[in-house]
A and B are shown apart, each in its own frame.
Chain A
Amino acid sequence: MRRILYAGVALAVIAGAVAWFLSAPRPLDESVLAGLQPADATRGERVFWAGGCVSCHARPGAEGDAQLELAGGLGLGSPFGTFVAPNISPHPTDGIGSWSELDFVNAMMRGLAPDGSHLYPAFPYASYGRMTPQDVVDLFAFIKTLPPVEGKAGESDIPFPFSIRRAVGFWKLLYLSDEPVVAFGDGTDPAVRRGQYLVEGPGHCGECHTARTALGGLEYSQWLAGAPSLEGRGRIPNITPSQDGIGSWSASDIAYYLESGFTPDFDSAGGEMAKVVRNMARLPSEDREAIAAYLKAIPPKP
């Protein structure tokens, strides 16, 4: 009897140790920065708009230059609780002004805070993990040029058990990958490749346009095939080139939509997508055309 008890305790200890090991943060080290060009804020601005940072990190309702004050404060509702976007202005204590370049790279690409704790994937690092380190450091250089904003954003409201940050480590084992989502062969049009990078990486389009598993990861077999809205009523549309999706749109229809918000029927984007369009309109036209080329090239889904 006692022997079984000992064995049980030993097993529990082993299981705990394995769980602790598996959920551990896995930061990138300095070598990720080796060989990069010096960070460039001008290039970073393009990444900034592609990434749509202001959609969550500007004060809710901010317009024009006020969007560049990254005070945070927007609440994102989800089945796991309400996540409040933090202050990411370059303020030394309330924002990210005292972060190192490597801290920023680890937040963007590994979902880690500077102290090594896991960030929640409401911050879409599962997409940003596909970005190039060069783009990430350029983005950091641009954010550093923006005005520092005093004051922390509100606290997120995450009920137990999701409040256990360490558990996000398991989520990352399942869902954090730098592999491209769609496999394109050799000789693929460079515009499609560029579009793939923008959509799957910084643009993080799949975070809303792809259905999620019960654990909150993306259902990659249904890539961009639409999803229930995480917040309230409505459905996020299918944007694959199928009949249920946007198969009837030409590439120039898609590019024009991203610039103006007008669909081919001259409906006009609303809600979160109107914000996305405002960001996309700031990109050079070749980037919108690249996104369009990619969306015409991916597998159609019903």
Chain B
Amino acid sequence: MKKLIASALVLMVSAGTVAAQDNPIKSRQALMDAAAGAAGIAVPMLKGEMEYNPAVAKAAIATFYGVATAGQAFFPEGSAGDSKAAPKIWEDPEGFKAAFAKFQSAAEAAFQASGKEGPADLKAFQAAVGPVLQNCGSCHETYRLE
């Protein structure tokens, strides 16, 4: 039984990998769109243009957490294609890995700080999500073309 579950898991994981290799550009662009959608909630709340809501805040943070944790897998060697991915991703794989790790740890910390209900108030949200948002520009500066 255990063996069966293990092989089923392996199958699922490898199916995921195959899907990623199938169309990594589309996959990573969809993930980045998800992150942009999350920023589209987070920033207006931070600017006071949208009323603060802890559950919505948590949804934004959870999205960043998912993107940050999964995203790096979708940049296989030779997948620059017609995308805005910068050649630097493959010229400096260690640097790219480190940039993603920074994004991942900020997002994970924010997710953990969110608790069950989401950050209690705007100040707590700012403290949690601020370090996550900084990664957008700093990573794009080196690893995206425009």
* Chain A interface (Cβ < 8 Å from any Cβ of B): 61, 229, 232-237, 256, 260-262, 265-271, 273-275, 277-278
Contact = CB atoms under 8 A, between A and B. Distances in A.
Interface residues of B, number: 19
10 contacts: A61-B142, A235-B146, A262-B43, A266-B39, A267-B36, A270-B84, A270-B140, A270-B143, A274-B138, A278-B137
A260 B43 contact: yes
Contacts of B37: 266
Contacts of B39: 262, 266, 268
Given A262-B136, A271-B146, 9 more contacts: A262-B39, A262-B43, A265-B36, A268-B36, A270-B145, A271-B141, A271-B144, A274-B137, A274-B141
Contacts of B47: 256
Contacts of B40: 265-266
A245 to B, nearest CB: 15
A271 B140 contact: yes
B145 A266 contact: no
A270 B84 CA distance: 9
B20 interface: no
Closest 4 CB pairs of A and B: A270-B140, A270-B144, A274-B141, A268-B136
Contacts of A270: 84, 86, 137, 140-141, 143-146
Interface string B123-146: 000000000000011101111111
Contacts of B136: 261-262, 268
Given A262-B39, A262-B43, A268 B145 contact: no
Contacts of B142: 61
Given A268-B39, A270-B84, A261 B137 contact: yes
